[in-house]
Chain A
Amino acid sequence: MKASPTTCFATERLTKRFPRVTALNDLTVSAGPGVTGLVGANGAGKSTLIKILLGLQPPTSGSASVLGMDSGTHGMEIRRAVGYMPEHDCLPPDISATEFVVHMAQMSGLPRIAARERAADTLRHVGLDEERYRPMGGYSTGMKQRVKLAQALVHDPRLVFLDEPTNGLDPQGRDDMLALIRRIGTEFGISVVVTSHLLGELERVCDHVIVIDGGRLLRSSAIREFTQVSQTIAVEVEEGLEPLAARLAGAGETVAVQGRTLTVQVAADADPGRTYDAVRDAVCDLSLNLIRLEQRRGRIEDVFKEPAA
């Protein structure tokens, strides 16, 4: 794996005003290596932030840097070291994915032979098989998203910006894309900045989440801090929910019955294993048929319910 720099990107009092709207307002934030989620509603300023980081738009005031390089003055060096997957469609329909990705690799400065090898490798990694030789006009949304991802990865960047990669995908396609993003961040060793307006999906793949709203920073913290606050266990058994609840309550656990499900609070300060053991022992002792036992984490949505800091 490559040596990762300590910061993936950082902004300092970054403001971007357009004639009619302020896209980013005094934003100071930074993200380390790994997978960083950039969350916000549509129009929160996510795409503008990416464009400024790529050095494609100058900020109105403030500064931004990527991999330790200033995006105002070192745009070219940044663009050499990063990959970008735009939110919108960007694939010409009459050429094949292979030709397109080879061409984009060459545009990143790879020699032709290396571009061919990398394109084949990358398309295989994103999961495009024989269809990569067909014109892209006939592709499904899922396949198009994979090609868009491949062109962002083909030159082996140190960091990729993925703008709404799960847009328009069905649940299965969404899961596949998220798994792929996780692999890019871990197995490929490439830092990822991924945007989404769907908060729930990012907690599955990110190490760190930045929430922006109306161009302002709402929250920036490691994913554990988002989710450890209210950890609960959901238990479902075939019959005998009431005795189980009574038994666990008797053992000193905080339980609540929600329909057919029993939720057990895991105290933040205590050893979490104790609660799991208690549930297991209680189910065993009562000879119940366990249907479901799962960890429930607090949702990122909750940050929007908290008053903005």
Chain B
Amino acid sequence: MTTEPTAVIHDIGYRHYDGPRLGRGNATMALAVQSLRGTFGLGRAIRAKIMPLLLIAIMFMPVVVSIGVMAVAKERILPYPQYMVFMQAVIAVFLAAQSPYLVAPDLRFRVLPLYLSRPLTVTDYVVAKLSALTVALFLLTAVPLTVMFIGELLVDLPGGARTGDYLASIGGSVVSAVLLASIGVVLASLTPRRGLGVASVIAFYMFTAAVSGMFNGILSSTGHDSLAPWALLLNPFFLTDAVQSGLFGTDPSVGDGYPAGLWTCLILLAEVAVAVSGILLRYRKAAA
């Protein structure tokens, strides 16, 4: 016995697309959003989600402890402006893990020509990748800081909340995110291999951290106390701390004080400018 077919597949042939075609701005935004999601492992394999989740969990540990101490012992233990310097190793690992993910595969698997054969330009591509990493780094530090602030508001210690410090630390997050993202992308874009990119970013962090600490120690022990603070600025995290201190008047997280705020701001701007031009040069060359 045969039954009547209930569904029939029709070959409807090729259909043209008459819908909207958005501009470069939308494409750049779509690329940035997709890249940002990717840095936290969203839309990627389970394996890629482990690292960001682990690092986010570590970022929240001091927050949980701080809120706990505020609630139980009624003491403020972690000043907001020092959170970034305190967590610098974790942030550096996040930067090292995610900046090569953003740029290396497109170079290695030669996806870049596909982007460039579309309305997107090299600059749009770089802007999308840089802003994705900047926003990711900002969220990585600003969300825990904000949770800590909300915690403090809820605990409601005598003497009021440290609103000024909190806002300064958010400003510091923005500054550090811009600096670290440009350093991360320029280092990662030099090699098409993701592993090498990870190694070069982490090596850069360890080298600058070691050198800045060493020079600072040598200079202060030999009596060059006026030069010693400059050595600290070699470490990007101390540099942003110095800028934060200069811009918002927060206490330095290390040492007795940084060089004048104007200089630290200029150094930071120069570093960002060098890194971003390096990225653009790199991609102009890759596109040709």
Contact = CB atoms under 8 A, between A and B. Distances in A.
Interface residues of B, number: 34
B111 A79 contact: no
A151 B30 CA distance: 16
B16 interface: yes
B22 A84 contact: no
Contact of B30 (A80, A112, A121): A112
Interface string B132-151: 00000000000000000000
A80 B21 contact: yes
Nearest to A122: B14
B13 A187 contact: yes
A163 to B, nearest CB: 10
A54 B15 CA distance: 25
Contact of A106 (B27, B114, B117): B27
Given A88-B110, A90-B109, A92-B109, A110 B117 contact: no
B22 A92 contact: no
Interface string A184-195: 000111000000
Nearest to A187: B14
Interface string A67-106: 0000000001001101110101111111000010001101
A79 B14 contact: no
A114 interface: yes
Contacts of B119: 76, 79-80, 108-109
A156 interface: yes
Contact of A111 (B19, B43, B121): B19
A165 to B, nearest CB: 15
Contacts of B45: 94
A286 interface: no
A106 B109 contact: no
Contacts of A54: 117
A102 to B, nearest CB: 10
A305 interface: no
Interface string B93-117: 0000000000001100111011111
A86 B15 CA distance: 24
B118 A110 contact: no
A114 B13 contact: no
B287 interface: yes
B163 interface: no
A56 B286 CA distance: 12
A20 interface: no
Interface in B58-80: none
Interface string A137-177: 00000000000000100011000000000000000000000
B208 interface: no
A191 B13 CA distance: 17
B23 interface: yes
Nearest to A155: B17
A84 B114 contact: yes
A76 B21 CA distance: 13
Contacts of B113: 84, 86, 88, 90
A84 B15 CA distance: 19
Interface in B24-41: 24, 26-27, 30-31, 34
A222 interface: no
Contacts of A76: 24, 119, 121
A238 B59 CA distance: 84
B29 to A, nearest CB: 9
Interface of B: 13-17, 19-24, 26-27, 30-31, 34, 43, 45, 105-106, 109-111, 113-121, 287-288
10 contacts: A2-B16, A79-B118, A80-B118, A92-B111, A106-B30, A109-B23, A109-B118, A111-B22, A118-B17, A125-B14
Given A79-B117, A90-B111, 17 more contacts: A54-B117, A56-B116, A56-B287, A57-B288, A76-B119, A84-B113, A86-B117, A90-B109, A92-B106, A106-B30, A107-B27, A107-B118, A108-B21, A108-B118, A110-B19, A118-B17, A187-B13
